[in-house]
Chains A and B, each alone.
Chain A
Amino acid sequence: MIPYVNEYDTPECKTLAETAKKSIRTPASLGLDRCIQCGACTASCPAARFTDYSPRQIVKKVLENDRSVLESEMIWSCFYCYSCNLRCPRNNSPVTIVQVLRQMAINEGIGVEKLAYFLEIGEYLAENGASKIPGPGAKNMERDLGERWISFKKNLESIRDELGLSSKDIRNTHGEVQAILEATGYFEREKWIKAKIQEKLLHQLLENQCIKRENRSGDFGFENDRRYPGQPAFII
């Protein structure tokens, strides 16, 4: 299968740094080359506070053009809170670089299973012009939040009526959103991601029979960090 190339998020360049700088996801003024490894990003980072995630080390890996970073579980721990973006004294933006790294990983089929949760968002948006908490996420929330939330969701339409809103939040986009998603190649990419996920699940099934799981997290020379255990993903 030809891997789907996401040319605006991950323009093909010689180095990770060049791709990050040219990506549509990062600002034109990105101070990646100006990084002084001061660690203000890691000091401000909520993920770094509770796990061994380190935006400073991710930036270092990018500057060293160490592509093993794409396989690290670490890149999937960012909250996209942009605290590092705000605090960086050199106008670098680890949070947007991580977005590019995730897109590059996806292009190589790495971590695609994490997207399984959210894939519904695209089709729902095309159809309704709005987004919703996707099915698997809503199931988690039902389990976590229990009866009160479930019954609120059941009554949402009548509550919206009572508030004087349309009973459903559906937008009138005249099919334009659907047309846009078709033309940007979104659906093609979604199809490719779905196929990759299936392929991976199958592989996992086969691998599980002869056990020996490779533990990829934390083993990429991230200096003096404790081993990064990652977090178990929910199985859907």
Chain B
Amino acid sequence: MKTIEDIPDSQLLLFKSCMVGQEYPGVETSTCYVFDKLGIDYCINDEQSCCTGIGHYTDIFEGLTTAAIAARNFAVAKSCGYPNITCLCSTCYAVNKEACETLNTNTEVREKVNSIFREKGLENLVYEKDDMNPRTNFYHAVEILLSKVDKIKEQKKFDFSGIKTASHHACHYYKVKYLDVLGNPENPQLIDNIAATCGAEPVRWYEDRTLTCGMGFSQLHLNKSTSLQVTKAKLDSLQRAGVELMLHMCPNCQIQYDRYQPVIEKEFGVKYDMVHMNIAQFVALSMGADPYKVCGFQTHSVSLEGFLEKTGII
């Protein structure tokens, strides 16, 4: 089990996420805003590619391709001196962590990947056993935020007292490598604890708290009605609990809840009162970030204006 003392605050490679970049770019800028204020030593490297997650989990990429792409990204992280891969997306986190384990333990795969690199003249990418450690080189940005709650509290400019929040901890953060979760994987509280630092009142338990968002990679497109039923189950539960703000840690989940909430309202004839944001956007807001120029709320589907007005931010 990871402990809070294990979380590093230096040499972090902030791993760019494709879905963040294309759907909620404000998640990246909010994370950078908060990391800068907290004095975290991190870098963003444009040479880093997609983790393959979207293709891997839509069954397009085979395991060998995923392992080889991961090995390349590990080489990028190591060569720039920032080997602690810190993800904005839970799927990047799981894919990288798993690939690292495979490359360390499966000699046949490692040798095949390395032979591919040599064949293509990419000797600089060759991965030696234990070049990276699956337990100590991979983090989710939320873990970094949680390890800095005292500093967040000190620098907080805006207090969200009285705001009822609920967390959606992303499946690929706590259900894939469940022994490496900060806290209890049956009831993760990372987002709740960070939100509480910003003054919010998290609903610590609600029905279906551990239910997946429903995106399910190919499921949203192949089995849309089941996909939306799953999403609706959790939204219904949050509505019953009187939640105003749902906090996320993964762009895929955020797409499913924020983008599809209006679709579910229309298709199922229901009405929801909650708005959505990533926990990094929430922390940035509480530290004084601009809702549009830093948090990028103009990219959201469920309008946040009502929430921002109510809380006095705009």
A residues within 8 A CB of B155? Answer: none
A160 to B25 CA separation, bound complex (whole angstroms): 7
B105 at the interface (CB under 8 A from A): yes
B140 at the interface (CB under 8 A from A): no
B193 at the interface (CB under 8 A from A): no
Q: Write the nearest CB–CB distance from A33 to chain B, whole angstroms.
A: 19
A195 at the interface (CB under 8 A from B): no
**Interface hits, B24-74 → A, CB 8 Å:** 25-26, 28-29, 46-50, 52-55, 57-65, 67-69, 72
CB of B54 within 8 A of CB of A169, answer no
CB of B175 within 8 A of CB of A83, answer yes
Closest residue on chain A to residue B30 by CB atoms:
A163
CB of B176 within 8 A of CB of A85, answer yes
B241 at the interface (CB under 8 A from A): no
CB of B49 within 8 A of CB of A9, answer no
A210 at the interface (CB under 8 A from B): no
A185 to B119 CA separation, bound complex (whole angstroms): 13
CB of A86 within 8 A of CB of B50, answer no
Interface flags for B189-222 (1: CB within 8 Å of A; 0: not) read: 0000000000000000000001110111111111
A27 to B104 CA separation, bound complex (whole angstroms): 12
Interface size class on chain B is: 35 or more
Given contacts A24-B102, A115-B59, A233-B222, contact A133 B22 (CB under 8 A): yes
Closest residue on chain B to residue A165 by CB atoms:
B25
A residues within 8 A CB of B296? Answer: 159, 163
B residues within 8 A CB of A144? Answer: 260, 263
B283 at the interface (CB under 8 A from A): no
Q: Write the nearest CB–CB distance from A97 to chain B, whole angstroms.
A: 14
A77 to B18 CA separation, bound complex (whole angstroms): 25
CB of B221 within 8 A of CB of A103, answer no
CB of B221 within 8 A of CB of A47, answer no
A59 to B59 CA separation, bound complex (whole angstroms): 19
Interface stretch (choices A63-71, A174-182, A217-225):
A174-182
B residues within 8 A CB of A99? Answer: 59
CB of B50 within 8 A of CB of A125, answer yes
B230 at the interface (CB under 8 A from A): yes
Q: Which of B26, B29, B171 has the most CB of A within 10 A?
A: B171
Q: Write the nearest CB–CB distance from B227 to chain A, whole angstroms.
A: 8
A184 to B53 CA separation, bound complex (whole angstroms): 17
Given contacts A8-B62, A8-B63, contact A173 B175 (CB under 8 A): no
CB of B47 within 8 A of CB of A171, answer yes
CB of B22 within 8 A of CB of A169, answer yes
**Interface hits, A159-198 → B, CB 8 Å:** 159-160, 162-166, 169, 171-174, 176-177, 179-186, 189-190
CB of A231 within 8 A of CB of B226, answer yes
Q: Write the nearest CB–CB distance from A115 to chain B, whole angstroms.
A: 6
Q: List 5 A-B contacts (CB under 8 A).
A: A47-B219, A49-B230, A76-B218, A115-B58, A186-B65
Binding site for A on B (CB under 8 A): 16, 18-19, 21-22, 25-26, 28-29, 46-50, 52-55, 57-65, 67-69, 72, 101-102, 105-106, 109, 112, 116-117, 119-120, 122, 125, 171-172, 174-176, 178, 185-186, 210-212, 214-227, 229-230, 233, 259-260, 262-263, 292-294, 296, 298-299, 301
Binding site for B on A (CB under 8 A): 6, 8-9, 23-25, 27-28, 46-47, 49-51, 76-83, 85-86, 99, 102-103, 106, 114-115, 117-119, 121-122, 125, 129-133, 136-137, 140-141, 144-145, 148-149, 152, 156, 159-160, 162-166, 169, 171-174, 176-177, 179-186, 189-190, 231, 233-234
Q: A6-B62, A133-B54 are in contact. List 12 more A-B contacts (CB 8 A).
A: A49-B233, A118-B54, A118-B60, A125-B49, A145-B259, A145-B262, A169-B25, A171-B46, A183-B120, A186-B61, A186-B65, A189-B62
